[in-house]
Structures are given as structure tokens and as C-alpha cells.
Amino acid sequence: MTAAWSTSTPATNGAAETRPVAAGDTTPDQARAAAAWVGAFTEGWANPVDTDSFCDHFEQWFQPEVRMIQPSVRPVVGKRAFREEFARPLFDLVPDLHGIVEGWAVSGDVIYIELRLEGTIGRRAFTMHTCDRITLRDGKAIERFAYLDAAPLLKAVARSPRSWPKFVRTQLRSRRRSA
């Protein structure tokens, strides 16, 4: 199948959106799995309540050995690391962080998702965009690679001195992991 780039997000009730099916490198099963995964991703980022509910939602869509790769920080491997080393420091720093899916497409077991992230650090609102490449295995993510420009977040941190202690703790935690 060669899928269209979709700017509509799949239903978030777990039902797969009906998508055009064609010959090629994506089977109908892969297309359905991708639509369901993007639906869950959309729902998970829409309005996270707190770190644990965010992680509880996402972990069911991850393989146990999920690997998350993004700029400037070491890869995070596994669900526990996702919760404690990725999500908790992130929501500690940006409690109102949320995301809007702007487009996505599937090719075989790979999904590309364009996501707009919005949040506030101190009183500084920021927006940043990412294109995530998600690799699925049996309908669950085995890898997430983020093409992300984190400069807007860092700029908001720089302009919000009250956020510096939290940011420093985040950086120290990351360095301890990599030591």
C-alpha cells in the first residue's frame, strides 16, 4: 500500500480510521495497526493530566524494550526509563505540556507523525515541532526517533530563572544515566 499523508487524526476510541489501501509495501493489517497507534498517540498527547496517567496510557502501546532516541539526550530504553527518565523530568519542567498531531503517514511498519508541542515554562509559552519516526512490531512501538528542534524549549528555560533548578536536576539526571 502507498498511503496518503493524512492531516486528519484517527478516531481516539481505539477504532482504526478507514484509510485507502493499495498495493505496495504496507499491508491492510499494517495500515490498521498504524491508524490505531496514531489514534492512541493523538489521545495521549492531547491533554496529559500528569506523568503517571500519561505513561499508563502510552505504555500499553510500547514493546517492553522500546527505544526512544531524540536530540541532545541519551536514548531511553524500556518502559520504566520512559516513565522515570523521559516523562517525569519533562512534565516536572513543563506541567502543561501537550501536543497536537498535524499529519501522519504509514509505510510498512514505520509511521511518521508530525506533532506540535505546546507548553509553558514559568510564564513563557513555547511551541516546538517534531517529526517522529515510529517503528511498530506487532502493533506496538519498538522504536521512536524524534527529529526535533528543542531550541524553543531551551529558550523558554533560559528566560524563566525559576525553572533553572528543575532544568539543572533534569540535566544532572541525564548525566548520571550516561556516566
Partner 1 sequence: MSTETTEATRIEELAGRYSDAWNSQDLDAIMNLHTDDCVFVAHAEGTSPAEGSEAVREAFAGYLALLPDINFAERALRIGEDHWVAESTMTGTLAGSLELEGERLGSSGTRVEVACVDVIEVRDGLVARKHTYLDTLAMQRQLGAAR
Residues found near partner 1 in the complex (CB under 8 A)? 1-5, 20, 22-24, 71-72, 103, 105, 107-108, 110, 112, 114, 128-131, 133, 147-152, 154-155
Least distance CB 64 / partner 1 (angstroms): 25
CA–CA separation, 171 and 169 (whole Å): 5
- Cβ closest to partner 1, residue 60 vs residue 72: 72
- Cβ proximity to partner 1: between 130 and 174 the closer is 130
Question: Considering just the CA atoms, what is the radius of gyration of the chain in Å?
Answer: 17
Which of these, 96, 13, 89, lies nearest to 49 by C-alpha position? Answer: 96
Minimal distance, residue 60 CB to partner 1, in Å: 26
N-term to C-term CA, the chain:
44
To partner 1, the closest distance from the beta carbon of 41 in angstroms equals 16
- State the minimum distance, in angstroms, from the CB of residue 178 to partner 1: 16
- Compare residues 51 and 160 and give the one whose CB is closer to partner 1: 160
Burial class (CB in 10 A: 0-12, 13-18, 19+), 119: buried
Judged by beta carbon, residue 55 or residue 105, the one nearer partner 1 is 105
Contact yes or no for 68/74 (Cβ under 8 A): no
CA distance 73 to 81: 13
